[in-house]
Amino acid sequence: MSKKERLSEFNRNNILSTAKQLFLEKGVSQTTMDDIAKEAEYSKSTIYVYFKGKDEIFNYIVLEYITLLKKGVDEALAITENFPDGYFAICNTLVNFYDTYPLYFESILGEIKIVTDESDDALSQIYMIGEQINNTIENYIGICISNGNIRADLNFLNQTTFALWASICGIISLANKKEKYINQSMGVSRETFMRNGFSLLLQSILPDRQ
């Protein structure tokens, strides 16, 4: 890597690091390009040399975290081939991800713009990694169906994967947004609520004999 390339990488990383801190402190919508430039100690025109705007900066941060999520899912399934251990490993990976990166949970696990060309490098990479995560889980579910660990009538693998993913994420999101209500009206912690929700979801995909 040349000196110019190293400088460019340093500046990009510095801008991204600064933006991450500001997003945490002020929120994404409240943070401006002027804020990022001032905190990073660059002129705003210098920021625009490296990024088209705040949206692109945010997308590159999301790319960093969805890459971490993919690694977490891969590691969760690598340590066990047993079901339902693998299922709960995925649930725990998502819970830990929320606890560590709550600001980016909804962004990564919510709607991701479909970009299949190179017009937006960050978004295209986010989409690609999201598809890789889906494929990893879909393959795992397919193996579990073949082994008789999951109901054989769940024929539409991609739809089953998407529904499970959405349901697990929904339980986590609801448990955190409604934690006070859950504590007061149900008398359980958010952790217990999530564990019970994951178990209930699991029962819906197990064969009758289990």
Helices and strands in the chain: count of H runs, count of E runs: 10, 0
Distance CA 32, CA 50 (A): 16
| pTM reported for the whole predicted model | 0.88
pLDDT at residue 154, rounded to an integer: 82
- pLDDT over 50 at 112, yes or no: yes
Give residue-wise pLDDT tens across range 132-143: 999 999 999 999
Give residue-wise pLDDT tens across range 144-160: 999 899 998 887 888 98
List, by residue range, all CATH 1.10.10.60 domains of the chain.
1-51
Fold of 1-51: Arc Repressor Mutant, subunit A (1.10.10)
- Of the candidate CATH numbers 3.30.2000, 3.30.70, 3.40.50, 1.10.357, the domain formed by 53-203 belongs to 1.10.357
- pLDDT over 60 at 116, yes or no: no
Give residue-wise pLDDT tens across range 29-59: 999 999 999 999 999 999 999 999 999 999 9
Q: Dihedral angle at the C-alpha atoms of 196, 199, 205, 209, nearest 10 degrees?
A: -120
